[in-house]
Chain A
């Protein structure tokens, strides 16, 4: 955001999350909200990541563990289905991978530079349970 002069902002360092009026926030999904420039939703922390998660939907059972335990609201679930990762807001912590219960995991961490398509192409196969 542009760094404005002292006479160019709201008094009291007050911030508004949305442009204009919002009627029912809890009933409005992110894509339908008019976020202002001042919502951190409009910002990105993608450059924090050293590793990134890649999502393979082939094995996903939509258990939503990744959704509930993601600290960064970066697991996009719609209609009870996991549909992808918000790469602007993911910090690459790796919790989603740890809590993923499928075999093989439906989320894995890769170096930030990794190519998604080629990683998906060589996704690990199901591990046989020992013991």
Chain B
């Protein structure tokens, strides 16, 4: 089971998350605490439930049972009778705004330019003025190396560039936590490097990150902790160095042997 953290209030505290799709149990009671500044890599075979777990954390999926508390605020809890209750819609949206998310398929808004993609949510959700947000958006785009592409549309970008814009777009909402759902899986191999570099840079700035990934080198070199999931459960959770040097569980060992 995951280690208990010493911080009083974890950034994310997920308890006993259960979720099924059409009779198949995808998450069989997953618990995880994420402390401030931690970078947690979630690895495991496809179908292990790792992406679903990530999507449950920010309410893209509705859980059947368990509780999720984000920075001390309850998104969802389950009472003694087993009734799973979410915070009211607007409240849930506000809580989930603490988490930014990057998708495998980028999901940029195709009708908006790169800059418009980045400023859209700060404008409409936070109600900031253009004057307030544009300089910050430009700074973020410079950080991901795409300031020159400001006026381009997503269809004019490479996959790696799209994903870096998606990261800048998420950061523009100033989240405390970043969730990455297989951010490099849809990319050509030669384009994964630029995205991983951007993520590494974020980690170095002590962003709290939860990364579902098949990039074992990223998991080993950048993350503070690695979680191995299989069949809807966390099989093993260890500091990155230990996990790769000495996986304890046979299933972890088999998976790592296969991947490395």
Q: Do A and B bind each other?
A: no
Interface residues of B (CB under 8 A from A): none
